């Protein structure tokens, strides 16, 4: 049976088969590049636009709740404020709200919005919905107990027993119910972001491998076609095929390099942006809660030991000191050069050889200064000098503001949270800019390489017409 001139057994058939193989590899390369770029964009949007900002908002709910608690506690310590929950509308209602009350309302609204955001992302998760509903209900109950404490305490002098009882109930609600629920929601959201980040980054790296594999296959197919034409037609080089080979190498290298860069930007956004921001937000909330625990000791001296234990536990979480079983031992250890643990200790070791080391040293110095203040306040409270302890605990000029030593420490942490959040946003924006041309480059380059392959084989096939 005679062989048809376009069959694989003919020269023309072999040329067509080799060209088809090269075009198939080219199509696989273009499809792999398109899919990998899509995975990279999904990862960037996860950290930059969707889950990343949401995790920061839900993580900030814990801080918002501790800020609410701190505002209410400072006002009670300064003598209370009647009509704490009064609404200024309609106009002329006669409700005058202090700056502390405004801040309380703002932080309560922040906490409610974060809780509702958590509910929207977990509509199919009944356990999460129950947690959110319980948290919102608990917020309402907390408001009522704080209102009752304010009404009973309004006026000069130490708060009466009725105000202390109401405040104690509000404290139990905050520490035993609201804060643990907020912590659980924040942990769940952070874990979800981590899972999504790992999957999407792994997809980007796997896509890079597919691009490299398809690119190598394309280069091999074009090179094989070039060698076959050179041997069969005794022409050393086909310029269109040589250009196609260069184009295939350039396309493969460009896409692979861009995907490598995107994987690194995703890592930067997560590990040097989102993770530290969430960790420092939790540390800031712990610091605010510690400062409030010291005020609780002054308001409710009967339970001073309980508040001391809470204060020590939170201090150890922030900056751990081995062997410090009580606050006196903790205070002494802070004045010595020891190997610290906890969040700040680990941060100091990670950044010891980086430019951030000086910033961490400033943060530790501010923390020690604040702890020196706490030592003074605690000593006055233990001596029964509650009025003096209250004065030492507050700003000397503005009674409803925290002491400047605590505000300086809090500002140091807040500044670092902002920097890490900016790193996440900057890495996401850089990644988005880098990916923008990659949506057009692979198909355009693939068309150009395909046209060069066709141009390279066309003169040889014309000889068999």
Burial 101-140 (b: 16+ CB within 10 A, else e): bebbeebbebbbebbebbbebbeeeeebeebbeebbebbe
The continuous run of DSSP H or E covering 247 comes out as helix 239-269
For 170-205, how does the pLDDT look when each residue is reduced to its tens digit (9 = 90+)? 999 999 999 999 999 999 999 999 999 999 999 999
What is the 3-class SS of 56-96, one letter each residue? HHHHHHHHHHHHHHHHHHHHHHCCCCCCCCCCCCCCCCCCC
- For 200, phi then psi, to 5°, come to -75, -35
pTM as predicted: 0.85
Domain count across the chain: 1
**pLDDT of 431 above 80:** yes
Please compute the mean of the pLDDT values over residues 105-134 and round it to a whole number: 89
Position 140 in a domain: yes
Q: Let me know if residue 390 belongs to a domain.
A: yes
pLDDT in tens, 60-102: 999 999 999 999 998 888 887 877 887 766 554 556 777 788 8
Question: Average of pLDDT values for 1-6?
Answer: 46
Q: Each residue of 259-316: pLDDT tens digit?
A: 999 999 999 999 999 999 999 999 999 999 999 999 999 999 989 999 999 999 999 9
pLDDT band, residue 353 (cuts 50/70/90): very low
Residue 8 lies in a domain: no
Report helix angle 357-382 to 327-334, nearest 10.
140
Please, which pLDDT band fits residue 255 given cuts at 50, 70 and 90? Answer: very high
Q: Is the pLDDT of residue 9 over 70?
A: no
**pLDDT at site 410:** 94
3-state secondary structure string across 406-449? HHHHHHHHHHHHHHHHHHHHHHHHHHHHHHHHHHCHHHHHHHHH
Residue 6 resides in a domain: no
Other Cβ atoms within 10 Å of 88 Cβ, number = 11
Question: What integer pLDDT is reported at residue 94 of this predicted model?
Answer: 59
Greater model confidence, 429 or 94:
429
Label residue 2 by pLDDT band (50, 70, 90).
very low
Average per-residue pLDDT in the chain?
86
Q: Which phi and psi angles does 402 have, rounded to 5°?
A: -65, 165
pLDDT of amino acid 406: 94
- For position 338, what pLDDT does the model report? 61
User: Helix, strand, or coil here: 341?
Assistant: strand
Domain-located, residue 3: no
Of residues 87 and 252, which shows the higher confidence score? 252
Residue 67, domain member (yes or no): yes
pLDDT in tens, 202-246: 999 999 999 999 999 999 999 988 888 877 766 667 788 889 999
Q: Let me know if residue 203 belongs to a domain.
A: yes
Residue 5 domain-assigned (yes or no) = no
pLDDT at residue 159 in the model = 81
pLDDT digits (tens, 9 = 90+) for 134-170: 999 999 999 999 999 998 886 666 788 899 999 999 9
Q: How many CB atoms lie within 10 A of CB 166?
A: 22
The whole domain housing 310 covers: 14-462
Q: Is the model more confident about 290 or about 12? A: 290
């Amino acid at each position: 049976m005679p062989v048809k001139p376009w069959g694989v057994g003919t020269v023309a058939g072999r040329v067509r088969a080799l060209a088809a193989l090269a075009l198939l590899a080219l199509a696989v390369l273009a499809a792999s590049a398109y899919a990998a770029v899509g995975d990279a964009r999904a990862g960037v949007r996860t950290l930059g636009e969707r889950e990343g900002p949401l995790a920061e908002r839900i993580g900030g709910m814990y801080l918002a709740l501790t800020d609410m608690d701190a505002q209410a506690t400072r006002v009670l310590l300064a003598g209370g404020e009647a009509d704490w929950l009064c609404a200024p509308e309609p106009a002329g209602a006669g409700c005058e709200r202090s700056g502390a009350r405004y801040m309380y309302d703002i932080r309560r609204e922040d906490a409610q919005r974060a809780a509702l955001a958590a509910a929207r992302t977990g509509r199919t998760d009944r356990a999460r919905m129950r947690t959110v509903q319980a948290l919102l209900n608990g917020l309402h109950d907390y408001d009522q107990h704080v209102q009752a404490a304010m009404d009973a305490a309004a006026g000069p002098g130490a708060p009466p027993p009725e105000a202390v009882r109401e405040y104690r109930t509000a404290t139990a609600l905050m520490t035993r119910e609201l804060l643990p629920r907020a912590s659980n929601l924040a942990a769940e959201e952070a874990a979800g972001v981590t899972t999504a980040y790992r999957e999407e980054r792994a997809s980007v790296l796997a896509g890079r491998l597919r691009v490299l594999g398809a690119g190598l296959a394309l280069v091999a197919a074009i090179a094989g076609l070039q060698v076959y034409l050179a041997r069969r037609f005794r022409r050393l080089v086909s310029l269109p095929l040589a250009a196609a080979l260069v184009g295939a190498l350039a396309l493969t290298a460009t896409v692979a390099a861009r995907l490598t860069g995107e994987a690194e930007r995703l890592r930067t956004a997560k590990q040097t942006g989102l993770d530290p921001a969430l960790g420092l937000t939790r540390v800031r909330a712990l610091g605010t809660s510690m400062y409030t625990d010291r005020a609780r000791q002054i308001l409710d001296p009967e339970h001073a030991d309980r508040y001391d234990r809470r204060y020590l536990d939170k201090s150890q979480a922030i900056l751990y000191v081995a062997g410090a079983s009580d606050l006196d031992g903790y205070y002494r250890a802070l004045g010595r050069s020891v190997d610290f643990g906890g969040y700040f200790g680990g941060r100091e070791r990670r950044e010891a050889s980086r430019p951030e080391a000086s910033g961490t040293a400033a943060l530790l110095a501010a923390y020690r200064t604040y702890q020196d203040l706490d030592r003074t306040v605690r000593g006055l409270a233990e001596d029964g000098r509650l009025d003096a302890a209250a004065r030492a605990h507050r700003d000397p000029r503005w009674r409803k503001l925290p002491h400047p030593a605590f505000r300086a420490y809090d500002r140091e942490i807040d500044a670092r949270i902002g920097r890490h959040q900016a790193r996440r946003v900057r890495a996401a924006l850089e990644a988005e800019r880098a990916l923008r041309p990659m949506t057009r480059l692979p198909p355009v380059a693939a068309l150009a390489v395909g046209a060069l392959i066709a141009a390279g084989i066309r003169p040889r096939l014309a000889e068999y017409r």
